[in-house]
Chains A and B, each alone.
Chain A
């Protein structure tokens, strides 16, 4: 495991791009002087802007940033906004260096930390523009509850960044939240693509389910699926992860949400066929999801569920003509920082997410989560 080391200039600046760049140059010289002859590599694959209004969440942000140089070295701009009082814009600079304990190269990524308040918040987009590294993608990680209606959030998406990463699980109302996010994404003025930590948490489930239905005989049954059940945490409405998983299945298999005959149930139209989707609250789950079960009209079922033993999953295939086949597989439980790190590094537009989000919003709109 590589260690990271932080270098910091104990000086606070006005938000002057020239002074900040000069301070960063000083920092690089210091890094080279302190490297004991090891070459220092300055590596940048993107600009990452981290927006936070919650001082209590800074610890988590720090944890993610400490992992960045190894996976996605970049220029980081952390925006710490005080949402309660005015504050002039100010900046500090630092660098995080990845040190290989076996010696050799030292890779450093630079960090600019900007403080803002209620009066200066609206100017952030303009202030940030000259601070970004030319010609590299710009990713905004919006920590805290996504606010599609907030003018600053909208300006980031319309004018400055290529990708906005949010966590839709932080919406107060999952259904309404996903709907708002889907509408924001489809707004013609928004040029940024949207990425979602909740979608990242669904990824291992998608992988396992895709594998389980991959054998040729299973693929031939996909057009025969008639029942889907998704087990999720809690005893109430399905969380965003369950809705996104349902949306993904619907979008991928071309099912059209049609009706919600009862709480937690949705009927989807697959050509002349109807598919019943059930959300099943489950008391004990290691994460937001517990199981997914696909049932075909001939009685064959394909299921994936989290095993009682942490870090394992169970894939099962059974049917009237086939012996029950169960396979225990590693089902990586990723720490939240690892999930964030993976989501930050995913490139560009994800059309599968866009389709899943739209379908999840439609499912929510039917009242399935009400």
Chain B
């Protein structure tokens, strides 16, 4: 492609080529809450090209205009636009089309093919199309199969077709492989974009920047200097009316197998040879493959799972998990998990990674804390205070995104009084520009053909290969009553015991 000399010297504002985004499940919650707001914000930021088109596919009969009104209501409801906003909305709405169809009905795909041909001709989308499956996962195979049969995954030479799917990518290793097999029958792997929205968060991407764009951290990023790593994904909310979903997922499928292992890969990976999709993902896969399996006989020693009981969050009484709607009173689904895991590779051999995630914990917080080893010699033996505490580098993912470093300092005065102090970097206070929402970033990346922040099939399978035996081991113990923790606490006593056995303790967040 020829260069664009007019873009020289301007901040990189990435704008994809004119294309059509085809959303299956276009009247669903994800589309209303996340996708349409993200697409409109991209338009507001001038990051969508002229001719950009959204083709909505859903079951209800509806006209283009009626669907545009549905989208407008969603944008008003989510405070993306106000009732009075006209000009920009009118321009955006010109690119909205609606196609009615059942997911398994070939005639709907024929109508979709006609609409795609129409927008290629009238809006210059040139056979560039991004299929977004915002549907329940069981519908993925049939939609992909029908796309293949209708031939709309085929494009002219200047075009492209890509597919975005949302997690969960299977419910275990076997189903993940089966899903990959079905996707690969229609789309090549390079055309498939598996979303884990965590990877779209700015601070998650900043893990790589912190590690690989600074000279001071990477030399200390290994078993010689690091005592242990804690990764916490804590939620203060319960199942929020999604008890039936959560019963099939539990924290293991909802958080552990995807978000937590993704964070682990970013902390644990080797420097990629380039910042491109395959180089980064190659390194992430190596981390997943280096995860030491937890055999059944070590499950009790290295993992804890638990369920929240009634308690209070933010001063408000909340029910226990088994009292939540759509949750059976005998449920043995875990709402909390803590694990001690190891990476058997040159960099991390012997360094424990403690992972914990749960619902109805004391507060919402996601962070990665890297605890360094103590100095080799206790030089300040006669110091006042509690002695030397280890340095901790904390990467705060949400909320209050930032980086902080704890180190020791001397209090001013005649005596040697040592105190830990915190050096803080706060993204919100340091940059005037608000970071883009994860979906904005990921949708734009997919339109631009950059799959760095998406998950490759081998990553999915490697993550399942590690998580599957743990989950099935837990399920074999289903008869054993789960430990409980009070809603609003930091988890069960068993989790404290897990980490304290190693002489360490969970961070207070």
- Residue on A with the closest CB to B92? A328
CA distance A351 to B49 in the complex (A): 28
**Is B7's CB under 8 angstroms from A210's CB?**
yes
- Determine if B382 is an interface residue (Cβ-Cβ < 8 Å): no
Chain A 297-319 interface 0/1 with B at a Cβ cutoff of 8 Å (1 = within): 00000000001010010010100
Render A95-107 as a binary contact track against B, CB cut-off 8 A, 1 for contact.
0000010001101
Distance in Å: Cβ of A318 to nearest Cβ of chain B: 11
B-contact 0/1 string along A276-315, CB 8 Å cutoff: 0000000000000000000000000000000101001001
Specify which of B17, B46, B50, B87 is in contact with A325 (CB 8 Å cutoff).
B50
A253 to B4, CA, bound (A): 9
B158 lies within 8 A of chain A by Cβ? yes
A193 within 8 A of B: no
CB neighbors of A among B449-466 (8 A): none
* A70 lies within 8 A of B122 (CB): no
Q: Is the CB of B51 within 8 A of A325?
A: yes
Task: Give chain B interface residues in 33-48, CB to chain A under 8 Å.
Answer: 43-46
A213 to B123, CA, bound (A): 16
Give B91-110 interface residues, CB cut-off 8 Å to A.
Answer: 91
- A58 and B50 CA atoms in complex are apart in Å by 43
Interface residues of A in 309-342 (CB under 8 A from B): 309, 312, 315, 317, 322-323, 325-330
Closest partner residue, chain B, to A350 (CB atom): B9
A273 beta carbon closer than 8 Å to chain B: no
Q: A207-B10, A219-B2, A253-B5 are in contact. Are A327 and B429 (CB under 8 A)?
A: no
Residues of A within 8 A of B432 (CB): 70-71
Residue of A nearest to B43 (CB): A329
Closest partner residue, chain B, to A356 (CB atom): B9
Beta-carbon contact of A210 and B51 below 8 Å: no
Residues of B within 8 Å of A100, CB to CB, are 429
By a CB distance below 8 angstroms, the chain B residues around A105 are 424, 426, 429
- Contact A252/B5 with A107-B429, A207-B10 known, Cβ cut-off 8 Å: yes
Does A214 count as interface, using CB distance less than 8 angstroms? yes
Task: Report the separation of the CA atoms of residues A329 and B315 in the bound assembly, to the nearest whole angstrom.
Answer: 46
Q: Please, how many angstroms separate the alpha-carbon atoms of A311 and B124 in the complex?
A: 27
User: In the docked arrangement, what's the CA distance between A228 and B426, Å?
Assistant: 46
**A18 CB–B CB distance under 8 Å:** no
Asked if residues A219 and B3 are in contact (CB atoms below 8 Å), the reply is yes
Say whether B346 faces chain A, with CB atoms less than 8 Å apart.
no
How far does the alpha carbon of A249 sit from the alpha carbon of B6 in the complex, in Å? 7
Please tell me which one of the listed residues B1, B8, B17, B50 contacts residue A252 in the complex, with CB atoms under 8 A apart. B8
**Among B2, B9, B424, contact of A351 (Cβ-Cβ < 8 Å):** B9
Residues A215 and B87 in contact, CB atoms below 8 Å apart: no
Q: How far does the alpha carbon of A207 sit from the alpha carbon of B124 in the complex, in Å? A: 21
Main secondary structure of the interface of A (DSSP, over half): mixed
**Cβ contacts under 8 Å, A219 to chain B:** 1-4
List the A side residues contacting B2 at CB < 8 Å: 216, 219-220, 222
Residue B352, interface by CB 8 Å: no
A216 close to B1 (CB less than 8 A): yes
Chain A interface residue number, banded: 35 or more
Q: Is the CB of A327 within 8 A of B1?
A: no
Bound together, the chains give a CA A206 to CA B7 distance in angstroms of: 8
A195 interface hit (Cβ, 8 Å): no
Q: Is the CB of A216 within 8 A of B6?
A: no
Query: Complex: how many Å from CA A2 to CA B2?
Result: 45
Minimal Cβ-Cβ distance residue in B for A204? B46
CB within 8 A of A323: which of B44, B46, B124?
Answer: B124
Q: Is A34 an interface residue (CB 8 A)?
A: no
Q: Which residues of B contact A323 (CB under 8 A)?
A: 122-124
CB of B240, distance to nearest CB on chain A (Å): 26
- B90 at the binding interface (Cβ < 8 Å): yes
Task: Report if B88 contacts A (CB, 8 A).
Answer: yes
Q: Are B429 and A104 in contact (CB under 8 A)?
A: yes
**What string of 1s and 0s marks CB contacts (under 8 Å) between B405-433 and chain A?**
00000000000000000001010010010
B124 and A325 contacting across the interface, CB-CB below 8 Å: yes
**Size category of the binding interface on chain B:** 20 to 34
Q: Which of B1-25 contact A (CB under 8 A)?
A: 1-10, 13, 15, 17-18
Residues of A within 8 A of B424 (CB): 105
| Bound CA span A65–B15, Å | 34
Q: Are A211 and B429 in contact (CB under 8 A)?
A: no
The one of B9, B15, B51, B87 that contacts A214, using a Cβ cutoff of 8 Å: B15
Q: Decide if B88 touches A215 in the complex (CB within 8 Å).
A: no
A77: B residues at CB distance < 8 A: none
The reply to whether the CB of A64 lies closer than 8 angstroms to some CB of chain B is: no
Check B46 against A208 for contact (C-beta < 8 Å): yes
Contacts of A220 in B (CB 8 A): 2
Residue A212 at the chain B interface, CB threshold 8 Å: yes
> From residue B486, how far is it (CB to closest CB) to chain A in Å?
29
Q: Assess whether A352 is interfacial by the CB under 8 Å rule.
A: yes
State which of A70, A203, A309, A322 has its C-beta within 8 Å of the C-beta of B87.
Answer: A309
User: Distance (Å) between the CB of B433 and the closest chain A CB?
Assistant: 10
Which chain A residues in 251-291 approach chain B with CB under 8 Å? 252-254
**Chain B min CB distance to A348 (Å):** 11
CA distance A323 to B15 in the complex (A): 21
Contact B88–A330 (Cβ < 8 Å): yes
A203-B17 Cα distance, complex, nearest whole Å: 22
Which residues of chain A come closer than 8 Å to B9, judged between CB atoms?
350-353
A179 to B295, CA, bound (A): 77
Asked whether A317 lies within 8 Å of B50 as measured between CB atoms, the reply is yes
Q: Which of A350-365 contact B (CB under 8 A)?
A: 350-353
Which residues of the partner chain A approach B87 to less than 8 Å between Cβ atoms? 307, 309, 312, 328
**Is B46 a contact partner of A214 (Cβ separation < 8 A)?**
no
Which partner residue on chain A sits nearest B428 by CB separation?
Answer: A100
Q: 8 Å CB contacts to B: which residues of A179-213?
A: 203, 206-213
Establish whether residues A352 and B8, one from each chain, have CB atoms under 8 Å apart when the complex forms.
Answer: yes
Whole-angstrom distance between the Cβ of A111 and the nearest chain B Cβ: 20
Please determine whether A315 and B429 come into contact, CB atoms closer than 8 angstroms.
no
- C-alpha spacing A328/B93, complex, angstroms: 11
**Docked pose: A87 CA to B478 CA in angstroms:** 88
Sample 9 A-B pairs with CB under 8 A, ordered by A number. Answer: A104-B429, A209-B6, A211-B46, A214-B15, A254-B5, A312-B87, A323-B122, A323-B123, A330-B88
11 more A-B residue pairs beyond the given contacts A207-B13, A215-B17, A325-B50, with a C-beta to C-beta distance below 8 A: A105-B429, A206-B10, A210-B10, A212-B50, A222-B2, A222-B5, A252-B8, A253-B6, A323-B123, A326-B91, A352-B8
Binding site for A on B (CB under 8 A): 1-10, 13, 15, 17-18, 43-46, 49-51, 87-88, 90-91, 122-124, 158, 424, 426, 429, 432
A interface vs B, CB < 8 Å? Answer: 70-71, 100, 104-105, 107, 203, 206-216, 219-220, 222, 249, 252-254, 307, 309, 312, 315, 317, 322-323, 325-330, 350-353
Which 7 A-B pairs have CB atoms at the shortest separation, nearest pair first?
A352-B9, A328-B91, A210-B6, A327-B50, A210-B7, A252-B5, A219-B2
